[in-house]
């Protein structure tokens, strides 16, 4: 029965029951951490063989460069090839760096602030104001970069097929200070949605007032499917080229959630001229990133098929966790009309929307019962969810039995907050 | 006999002999590359055992953090300890990053351009002009960073005991736009000199007009001795603190020339408040650098004594090369008064000064005979050696027999250029 159709007595009765259940869980004093999208130990173990020295051979790249020594500031050729396959881009338009794609994104924006987006363009830092379009719910770390750099964030709804394109098109067409936009096109963090062909085409084609507008295309979950294979999205770089905007998109990816979150390799790709420009700006920055790690990854993962096979092992571990969360939400909350949840086909998160205004209360109540969640609002610019309803669930790290316990507690918290809200509404 | 005391006939005769020697070498068509201070394969081989998985244990830090996973954006505690020992700084004031200290220096300057040197200070990028003091001859990559960022470089003579302090003190006392200074205090690149206690004290104490003046203390060769042990310099960070300028110096170092040039670990150290500030600015930049590499380094090198023992193996390979270069220069050129050379007790380079105005000619002549040297002028800001006399010799990479051949050719080139010059002078 829908909570909203319950009488005041029924609501009170249900509230009493849920509160006693809450107290029962609270008395156990267990703690469950679902704050970050971290791989579990079992997921990490999948890549331990990579550390075997057999994957380093004689330390040399195919073209004879010793990976132990200086050089190749934009990556070894084999790693460009491998990371290019993940992003669907020719290796000549790929730069491979250290272990963190977030670091590459930050560095790229810092370079654009300092030097502009290409030779001769005005540095972003010289403008009165720089704004980014931030589809939300989104990745908190993207928003943290903007906040750190004083870039004004414009929140745009992330819908089932991508950002609300009517809004995006209107914004970029009229405002020269909008210089950038974040996107997680595949298995979006946190809702898990996938950009539709139409959205991608519209992003590639749209008229932008700012000539130095760039889309930061964070393909963090490019190969992170939960079923048989990754979804097949349109290639953003090709779409941009076709639309005559070949410098618009810069793609980022990493193996952080393929091999090791703390010791993967990360890469970027874009048009030939963007890559030449950025590689040129990187030259003063470093003589080269860790090429031993690059070589190790290439020899271990081999190629795109090798990666897909590896990711099947990930899916075999992650899928049951995702299923368990979805099934528990279904069992506990279906028909009550107090929660919407996503059912992603890949990625690292499940996103839930409570009744408007309740997310922070739910997170606090869960915390008091030992279930640690990413703070409500984190998935929005300035940590402010305008409807205060979105909560990110990160099922990857806890063991499945802990996850089940945590989600059951979370459901109780959602019920309590919803019941209190509806009860008060009926006064 | 000094060339300058030869008669014109004697000069011509000697020139003829050297030219015929040159042609003899040129006919062999060998190539010798001494352009960069790269470790040789044998030096790299010294660290190959580090790649054994035994140095990774259960992947955990002492405080239980799994190095394969996310986190610890400023480094694992053990790596802070180890790198702190190299720099003589408590681990609480150390940040450990990726594999390149040049990258940390670049990033730090970028942050100062964008955010200022501490909370509330004006970003360097907001000043009309930012200048750096560049003791020279110095490290070309320092100068490249300044050039890339539009920072005006002021060349100051690097003497036997450090930069010319009378000049430095005058400059910083009077010019508010001087915001920074480069220093390679130990076994300076390229002259190999070591800063004296007096120079270090004066740098720590001097009055600076700019309150946001910072010294970039590149301790790249902290443990890179050629004899028994490293020279013992005053601790710059402590001297700054004693002088009441505790935020003045930022120290950088790496294991690039201890383990692998292409896969070491790098670190920075400074005052508590500088490190807290910079660590805070790094938070949006990355979730963490490669912690597997950090753990591997710690378990392999163990501690400062472990590093010194490792560096003795380096010295055993490098010392004979340095000796051979010095001995050859001595044998070929002593008493001619056409060349000065350094005789470093550590580091990676030998620096030579020709007669003023001849360095570029010597480098070109050597190149035409197959001996590739760092371009003349590279050791100076804007690649302009005002006296056109300094050439950097990098003995680390070539095998010793190749090095001997290359230095002999170089000596012939120096003789030819000097003879031509002196002959023309006598007209």
- What ipTM goes with this model? 0.97
| Per-residue pLDDT at A427 exceeds 80 | no
Residues of chain A found within 8 Å of residue B50, distances taken between Cβ atoms: none
Cβ atoms B299, A106 nearer than 8 A: no
Strand partners, A225: A346
Residues of chain A found within 8 Å of residue B71, distances taken between Cβ atoms: 262
Cβ of B261 and A53 within 8 Å?
no
Cβ atoms A65, A75 nearer than 8 A: no
| Per-residue pLDDT at A58 exceeds 80 | yes
Cβ atoms A41, B66 nearer than 8 A: yes
Residues of chain A found within 8 Å of residue B291, distances taken between Cβ atoms: 262-263
DSSP letter string, A159-198: ETTEE-HHHHHHHHHH-TTEEEEEE--SS-TTT-----HH
Cβ of A100 and B288 within 8 Å?
yes
Mutation to test the B interface, candidates A68, A108, A123, most B Cβ within 10 Å: A68
Share of chain A above pLDDT 70, in %: 100
Cβ of A290 and B290 within 8 Å?
yes
Give A35's pLDDT tier (boundaries 50, 70, 90). confident
Query: What are the tens digits of pLDDT across the range A323-344?
Result: 999 999 999 999 999 999 999 9
Cβ of A69 and B284 within 8 Å?
no
Distance CA A393, CA A403 (A): 10
Identify the pLDDT of residue B205: 98
Share of chain B above pLDDT 90, in %: 98
Cβ atoms B144, A284 nearer than 8 A: yes
Give the mean pLDDT of chain B: 97
Locate B126 and state its tokens. 């907001």
CB count, 10 Å around CB of A402?
Answer: 16
Query: What are the tens digits of pLDDT across the range A79-109?
Result: 999 999 999 999 999 999 999 999 999 999 9
Query: What are the tens digits of pLDDT across the range B2-28?
Result: 999 999 999 999 999 999 999 999 999
Mean pLDDT value of segment A106-135: 98
Identify the pLDDT of residue B40: 96
Strand blocks (E) in B164-211:
178-183
Mean pLDDT value of segment B168-185: 98
| Per-residue pLDDT at A31 exceeds 90 | yes
Identify the pLDDT of residue B117: 98
Mean pLDDT value of segment B406-417: 98
| Per-residue pLDDT at B100 exceeds 80 | yes
Residues of chain B found within 8 Å of residue A141, distances taken between Cβ atoms: 284, 287
Q: CA nearest A167: which of A211, A136, A212, A213? A: A136
Cβ of B292 and A262 within 8 Å?
yes
CA distance A379 to chain B (A): 15
| C-alpha pair distances (Å), A12 with each of A8, A302, A354, A419, B383 | 6, 60, 20, 8, 80
CA distance A413 to chain B (A): 29
What sign results for the dihedral spanned by CA atoms B219, A111, A379, A317?
A: negative
CA distance B198 to chain A (A): 32
Strand partners, B361: none
| Per-residue pLDDT at B35 exceeds 90 | no
Cβ of A288 and B71 within 8 Å?
no
| Per-residue pLDDT at B427 exceeds 90 | no
Distance CA B141, CA B381 (A): 10
Identify the pLDDT of residue B426: 84
Cβ atoms A349, A189 nearer than 8 A: yes
Q: Kindly give, in sequence order, each residue whose CB lies less than 8 Å from that of residue A251, ignoring residues fewer than 6 positions away.
A: A87, A89, A217, A219, A236, A237, A268, A269, A270
CA distance A33 to chain B (A): 14
Query: What are the tens digits of pLDDT across the range A161-208?
Result: 999 999 999 999 999 999 999 999 999 999 999 999 999 999 999 999
Please name the residue that has the structure tokens 């934009």.
Answer: A74
- pTM, rounded to two decimals: 0.97
Cβ of B285 and A103 within 8 Å?
yes
Residues of chain A found within 8 Å of residue B144, distances taken between Cβ atoms: 283-284
CB count, 10 Å around CB of A396?
Answer: 23
Locate A60 and state its tokens. 């040399």
Query: What are the tens digits of pLDDT across the range A306-325?
Result: 999 999 999 999 999 999 99
Query: What are the tens digits of pLDDT across the range A205-250?
Result: 999 999 999 999 999 999 999 999 999 999 999 999 999 999 999 9
| C-alpha pair distances (Å), B317 with each of B39, B186, B188, B312 | 11, 20, 20, 9
Residues of chain B found within 8 Å of residue A256, distances taken between Cβ atoms: 70
Give A36's pLDDT tier (boundaries 50, 70, 90). confident
Find the farthest-apart pair of alpha carbons in chain A and give their distance in angstroms, rounded: 78
Kindly state the DSSP code that residue B134 receives in the 8-state scheme.
E
């Amino acid at each position: 029965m829908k909570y909203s159709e319950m009488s005041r007595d029924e609501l009170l009765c249900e509230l009493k029951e849920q509160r006693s259940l809450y107290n029962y869980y609270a008395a156990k004093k267990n703690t469950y951490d679902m704050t970050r999208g971290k791989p579990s130990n079992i997921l990490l173990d999948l890549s331990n063989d990579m550390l075997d020295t057999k994957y380093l051979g004689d330390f040399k790249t195919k073209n004879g460069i010793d990976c132990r020594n200086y050089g190749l500031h934009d990556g070894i050729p084999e790693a460009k090839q491998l990371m290019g396959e993940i992003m669907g881009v020719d290796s000549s338009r790929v730069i491979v760096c250290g272990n963190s794609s977030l670091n590459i994104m930050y560095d790229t924006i810092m370079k654009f602030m300092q030097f502009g987006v290409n030779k001769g363009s005005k540095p972003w830092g010289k403008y009165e104001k720089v704004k980014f379009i931030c589809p939300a719910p989104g990745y908190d770390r993207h928003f943290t970069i903007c906040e750190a750099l004083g870039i004004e964030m414009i929140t745009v709804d992330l819908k089932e097929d991508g950002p609300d394109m009517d809004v995006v098109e209107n914004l970029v067409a009229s405002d020269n200070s909008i210089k950038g936009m974040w996107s997680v096109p595949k298995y979006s963090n946190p809702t898990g949605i996938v950009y539709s062909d139409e959205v991608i085409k519209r992003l590639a084609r749209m008229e932008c007032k700012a000539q130095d507008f760039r889309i930061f295309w964070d393909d963090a979950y490019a190969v992170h499917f939960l079923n048989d294979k990754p979804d097949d999205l349109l290639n953003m770089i090709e779409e941009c080229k076709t639309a005559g905007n070949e410098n618009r998109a810069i793609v980022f990816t990493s193996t952080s959630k393929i091999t090791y979150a703390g010791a993967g390799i990360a890469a970027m790709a874009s048009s030939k001229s963007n890559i030449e420009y950025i590689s040129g700006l990187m030259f003063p920055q470093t003589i080269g990133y860790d090429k031993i790690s690059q070589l190790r990854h290439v020899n271990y993962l081999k190629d795109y098929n090798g990666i897909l096979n590896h990711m099947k092992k990930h899916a075999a571990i992650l899928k049951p966790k995702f299923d368990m969360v979805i099934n528990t939400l279904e069992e506990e909350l279906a028909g009550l009309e107090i929660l919407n949840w996503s059912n992603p086909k890949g990625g690292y998160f499940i996103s839930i929307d409570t009744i408007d205004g309740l997310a922070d209360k739910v997170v606090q109540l869960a915390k008091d019962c030992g279930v640690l969640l990413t703070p409500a609002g984190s998935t929005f610019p300035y940590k402010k969810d305008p409807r205060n309803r979105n909560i990110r669930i990160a099922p990857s790290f806890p063991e499945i039995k802990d996850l089940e316990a945590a989600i059951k507690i979370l459901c109780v918290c959602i019920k309590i907050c919803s019941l209190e809200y509806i009860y008060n509404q009926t006064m």
